[in-house]
Amino acid sequence: MPQPNVDEWRGEVRQWLTATLHPRRAAETTGHTAADLAVFHNLTDEEERQLLDRCRAYQRARHEAGYQALTLPEENGGQGLTAAHAALFAQEESAFDVPPSTELISVTVRLVAMSVSLFGTPEQRETYARAFLRTDLLACQLFSEPGAGSDLAALRTRARRDGEDWVIDGQKVWTSGAQFAEYGLLLARTDPDVVKQAGITAFLVPMDSPGVEIRPIRQMSGGASFNEVFLSGVRVPDGLRIGRPGQGWEVANATLAFERTASGSGNRRKGGTFDDVLALARSLNRTGDPLVRQRLADLYVRSALRAATVDRVARASAAGGRPGPEASLTKLMASDLLTRTGQVAAELMGARISADTGEPGTFAWTEHLLGAPGYRLAGGTDQIQRNLIGERVLKLPGEPRVDKVPFSELSGN
């Protein structure tokens, strides 16, 4: 299909955004609430549902208008546009008051929908990927387990074939949004007698299946957005297998690369930003202090470098159809920036950051400070991103690997 002219398309996008959303307010830290500065939401179930409804309404409108999954090929349910179109849409959208998204919306639209589009059958694409892209159905990510986080391929949740079904037993953990999801993209071991990466298969599990138990986990920043998920004798029809048996590691890697890209580049507001810190310094009359100026300049340069890297990685991944290992760079830069932003805000405020005096925009920053460490773990820890950059981007020698034997021969299995 011929690509629309970028300048004309920009005009159409701007017109649609103007008709759909309000313009974004300028950053005024003194007015910021904890919700504005929080990295993870601290909401009741009722508030979370209301937020999800707002997000879903916007995602559906975006899908209907033809602005969802811009770079995904048309045959996979996307718009088949270039990275330049996607960058332009993100740029235009950032000037508007987009509903503050949640982890579950991002996991559904930017991870699960993408992987089902790439690995699903035509029927699965039509039934599920499309519904995930429109957020008619929400899907969580059932990957991590108590003994398999960084070393995800060591997962022990088992799926055994039984006639036309698979029967799943095991435990997942840190599952964001599981309590609100209709489906979960799950990785399970289907063959323990091959090396650990080769014996994994991916499934879409209906979260209301008998045998699925979801227990929320309270976070130190206050909310309970992630969960433990227990699976006991859960029956899933073979029609919900995503990819071939044994192809689960490939599905996992693609999903994780989408996750790094979403975490590193998402335009969902996550915590305080450079603009918020600048507004804070202004409100405290500290912008004349040479040390503060130095810290602000450092933060600004890092924000600009991150934005430029996001753009570069987005262009490269759109060209290849899916993100490459370079996505680890943007994930690492995003989590580093979030931590540094909190540090500069804390230095500016001193003890005021931890005293809940009602002074606007001060104590609210604690939600940023307490949430930032979690962001350094979610989607692969900082250390794992560094390993990926070393081995797959810089092509440095790999770490010694002693587990190239059938999974069942590894100790404890």
Ligand X SMILES: Cc1cc2nc3c(=O)[nH]c(=O)nc-3n(C[C@H](O)[C@H](O)[C@H](O)COP(=O)(O)OP(=O)(O)OC[C@H]3O[C@@H](n4cnc5c(N)ncnc54)[C@H](O)[C@@H]3O)c2cc1C
First-residue to last-residue Cα distance in the chain: 51
Q: Which stretch binds ligand X (CB under 6 A): 58-66, 142-150, 334-342, 346-354?
A: 142-150
Residues 174-213, mask of contacts with ligand X (x by CB under 6 A): xxx-------------------------------------
| Residues 364-393, interacting with ligand X (CB under 6 A) | 374, 377-378, 380-381, 383-384, 387
Beta carbon of residue 259, minimum distance to ligand X (angstroms, whole number): 8
Nearest CB to ligand X, comparing residues 140 and 281: 140
Report, in Å, the least distance between residue 335 CB and ligand X. Answer: 11
Of residues 143, 258, 365, 407, which one binds ligand X by CB under 6 A?
Answer: 143
Binding of residue 287 to ligand X (CB under 6 A): no
Size of interface with ligand X, in residues (CB under 6 A): 19
Interface mask toward ligand X for 103-122; x: CB under 6 A: ----x---------------
Of the ranges 22-30, 71-79, 173-181, 322-330, which one interacts with ligand X (CB under 6 A)? 173-181
Q: 3-state secondary structure string, the chain?
A: CCCCCHHHHHHHHHHHHHHHCCECCCCCHHHCCHHHHCCCCCCCHHHHHHHHHHHHHHHHHHHHCCCCCCCCCHHHCCCCCCHHHHHHHHHHHCCECCCCCCHHHHHHHHHHHHHHHHHCCHHHHHHHHHHHHCCCCCEEEECCECCECCCHHHCCCEEEEECCEEEEEEEEEEEECHHHCCEEEEEEECCCCCEHHHHEEEEEEECCCCCEEEEEECCCCCCCCEEEEEEEEEEEEHHHEECCCCCHHHHHHHHHHHHHHHHHHCCCCCCCCHHHHHHHHHHCCCCCCHHHHHHHHHHHHHHHHHHHHHHHHHHHHHHHCCCCCCHHHHHHHHHHHHHHHHHHHHHHHHHHHHCCCCCCCCHHHHHHHHHHHHHCCCCCCHHHHHHHHHHHHCCCCCCCCCCCCEHHHCCCC
The answer to whether 259 is a known catalytic residue is yes
Nearer to ligand X by Cβ, of 307 and 389: the residue is 389
Question: Could you tell me the smallest distance in angstroms from the CB atom of residue 18 to ligand X?
Answer: 34
65 binds ligand X (CB under 6 A): no
* Nearer of residues 153 and 310 to ligand X, judged by Cβ: 153
Amino acid at 82: T
Among 71, 117, 124, 144, binds ligand X (CB under 6 A): 144
Contact window for ligand X (CB under 6 A) among 143-151, 230-238, 346-354, 388-396 = 143-151
Nearest to 265 by CA among 299, 313, 298: 313
Q: Which residue number is nearest to ligand X in terms of Cβ? A: 149
Site string for ligand X, 224-243 (x = CB under 6 A): --x-----------------
- Taking CB under 6 A as the rule, does residue 149 contact ligand X? yes
Quick one: 274 or 375, whose CB is closer to ligand X? Answer: 375
Task: Name the catalytic one among 48, 92, 259, 326.
Answer: 259
Residue 122, judged by CB atoms within 10 A of its CB (0-12, 13-18, 19+), counts as exposed
Distance CA 341, CA 369 (A): 9
Closer to ligand X by Cβ: residue 311 or 367: 367
CB 228 within 8 A of CB 173: yes
- Which CA distances in Å does 32 have to 39, 209, 398? 13, 41, 45
Residue 147 Cβ, how far from ligand X at the closest point, in Å? 8
Q: Which is nearer to ligand X, 51 or 384 (CB)?
A: 384
Min separation Cβ 325 and ligand X, Å: 15
Query: Under the criterion CB under 6 A, does residue 141 sit at the interface with ligand X?
Result: yes
**Residue closer to ligand X (CB basis): 299 or 378:** 378
Round to whole Å and give the CA distance between 178 and 228.
9
CB of 19 to ligand X, least distance (A): 34
**Residues counted in the chain:** 413
Q: Taking the complex as a whole, how short is the minimal distance between the CB of residue 177 and ligand X, in angstroms?
A: 7
- Minimum distance between the CB of residue 382 and ligand X, rounded to whole angstroms? 7
**Sites of contact with ligand X (CB under 6 A):** 107, 140-141, 143-144, 149-150, 174-176, 226, 374, 377-378, 380-381, 383-384, 387
Among all residues, which ones are annotated catalytic?
A: 259
